[in-house]
A and B are shown apart, each in its own frame.
Chain A
Amino acid sequence: MLKMQKKQLAKCLTGIQGLDEITGGGLPQGRPTLVCGSAGCGKTLLGVEFLVRGAVQYDEPGVLMTFEETAEEITQNVASLGWNLNQMIANGKLIIDHVYIDPHNIEESGQYDLEGLFIRLGSAIQEIGAKRVVLDTIEVLFAGFNNDSIVRAELRRLFGWLKAQGVTVIITGERGDNTLTRKGLEEYVSDCVIRLEQRTAEELTTRFLQIFKYRGSSHGTNEYPFLIEENGIAVAPITSLGLDHEVSDQQISTGISRLDTMLGGGGYYRGSSILVTGMAGTGKTTLAGYFAKATCDRGERCLYLATEESPQQILRNQRSIGLELSHYVENGLLRFEAVRPTVYGLEMRLVKINSWIKEFQPSVVVIDPMSNLATSASLSQTKYFLLRLIDLFKSQQITVFFTNLLQGGSPLEHTEVGVSSLMDTWIELRTIETNGERNRILYVLKSRGMKHSNQVREFLVTSQGVELVDVYLGQQGFLTGTARVVQQAQEEIVQLSRQQEFERKKRRFEHQQAITQAQIKALETQLAIDQDELDMFSEQEGLSQQVLFENRDKMADLRKADDKD
């Protein structure tokens, strides 16, 4: 039981996937809900699941009063969904009362009422303390008894009585032509009405559920597609196109470091939508494989939806370029689901994908290729479908990676359906043909929210893996492949000879320099020798002068100069 904070109305959680979201908390508690639809659209199943979930998930025992099928039939029918009704009965969580009305053996004489119904229901409810009741389908009473007015009066009494019991009730009714139900049960059950329908379009059948009425509560009014899966009903509550998701600014690696650099230095934004387009054989699946690997390397889970190749084929192809992914599959980080385009309609696809992500909780989903998801739908249906799908992922911060096959010859920046506007990052892979060979190039067309490279890179896929190489700018534009290699070689040669030329000149200069140095040295030596000679000569001259003067003095002495005596 869930009490909504804003509303007064108390609601009873059904436990049915998607239904509690659509109804904003479940069915009106303590009140009857009418589930109507044509035969085979799932009314009984919904009722039974309501009781099963109640017993198993919310510890609320329930009573099923069945007017058409027997208890054994119902038990058998739902056994394949993993529900063991006999076990629940044994545990006191469920009572199934099959009401059999034989229209032929009954005569009517005088007044009667349907008190037996009340007595049976009352004792069952009391026996296990039931909180949930399903009546399927009570319209049979009209067939069983001739007196319509008595039946109607008793039904009115019954619903009042049920309210007093405080149980949440589901009543099923067969769809009428102009009315909701053939016998007009909606007259008595006006709190909540759910319509189930099955429609076939282009050979694909889709089931829809609609909250036709829910008094006292806001609810989604659209038709929601639902699936009956291996463990019950799954409704796709796809409506929150409110565009108010939380946005992350964390960037996660693409798996190729050069590409990370091209994308603002870090890779894709977490929770964003990425589109890789290209013609056949350009390497889109390779990019997907690298991204899956990068995700698993971080210990996060990746769900890979393969819509064209089988998972084994994909694994093999990735292996051939050096990318080994099978161990991720083994340890549960990578999960493949093969989705065949013609099995489901778009809505079922949505519900199925929703179930998978609920169960597996991946942080990344790869859809390879996206083009196969919507083969027979119209353009607007496809776009709406993708919008809802992307919305589904973004609301859970799941990063989604789409590959898309371009038909040959279509103009480069035109992706059918204008789908590219739904994508945050768009990478284009192209092949160009020059000189009789095809080479692949990659460039980032757009990547919202980051500075990305506008350069074209050559995309090389070798058996050792993927490399993003700068393209060569030659005379005629950029070159790839062998032309690039040739050009590269040529330029290397030119470079080499320039280098050699430089070396040669350098040696010559050096040689010259050495010679000049030697000459200088010689002159210097000469200068030094001359200087020495000069010094010596000066010294000699000085000495002789000195001797001369000494001799003169001596002579004067000896001659006795006459100035003294």
Chain B
Amino acid sequence: MTINSLDELNLSEEETWELRLYVAGKSHKSLLAIANLERICKESLDGRYRIEVIDLIEHPQIARKDQIIAVPTLVKKLPLPLKQIIGDLSNEEKVLIGLELKKWG
């Protein structure tokens, strides 16, 4: 199902989703997560998003700094609160709930 109107969510015009996706190289899960995320964002956020993909194999010290264990991990930095979703993001419903793009119910 798609969300058509963002008005339901009482968004201000300025709100942008800042998303960070931690992956490990070009593993199957990593590529899948990237693809899934891009798709979901394109469908639901209408351009109000910024995705940052961090490859932990290239930057291993970030894993420690940001306390990442599971891969892939998606972190919603903005809008607050901070939320984490782990996995290849194939369960879209969970992703939407996690990103607070959809409410429970």
Contacts and interface: CB of A to CB of B under 8 A. Distances in A.
A145 B90 contact: no
Interface residues of B, number: 35
Contact of B86 (A99, A100, A107, A141): A107
Interface in B53-76: 56-57, 60-61, 63-64, 67-73
A115 interface: yes
Interface stretch (B1-9, B11-19, B91-99): B91-99
B65 to A, nearest CB: 10
Nearest to B85: A107
B21 interface: no
A105 interface: yes
Main secondary structure of the interface of A (DSSP, over half): mixed
A26 B8 CA distance: 65
A565 interface: no
Given A107-B86, A116-B63, A123-B61, A101 B95 contact: no
Interface in A102-126: 102, 105-117, 119-120, 122-124
B57 A108 contact: no
B95 to A, nearest CB: 5
Contacts of A100: 67
Contacts of B50: none
A116 B22 contact: yes
Given A119-B60, A123-B60, A109 B85 contact: yes
B69 A107 contact: no
A97 interface: yes
A106 B85 CA distance: 5
A97 B84 contact: no
B71 A123 contact: no
Contacts, number: 98
B96 to A, nearest CB: 10
B86 A108 contact: yes
Q: Is the interface of B mostly helix, strand, loop or mixed?
A: mixed
B85 A108 contact: yes
Nearest to A150: B70
Contacts of B32: 110
The size bracket of the interface on A is 20 to 34
A114 B73 CA distance: 10
Nearest to B27: A115
Given A101-B69, A105-B82, A123-B64, A116 B94 contact: no
Contact of A114 (B22, B71, B88): B71
Contacts of B29: 110-113
Contacts of A109: 85-92, 94-95, 98
Interface in A81-113: 97, 99-102, 105-113
B48 interface: no
Given A107-B98, A119-B63, A123-B64, A112 B83 contact: no
Interface in A431-484: none
A110 B30 CA distance: 11
A232 B42 CA distance: 59
A116 B90 contact: no
Contacts of A107: 83-86, 94, 97-98
Interface of B: 22, 24, 27, 29, 32-33, 36, 56-57, 60-61, 63-64, 67-73, 82-92, 94-95, 97-98
Interface of A: 97, 99-102, 105-117, 119-120, 122-124, 141, 144-145
Given A100-B67, A106-B70, A106-B86, 13 more contacts: A99-B67, A99-B69, A109-B86, A109-B90, A110-B29, A112-B72, A112-B88, A113-B70, A113-B71, A115-B27, A116-B73, A119-B56, A123-B60
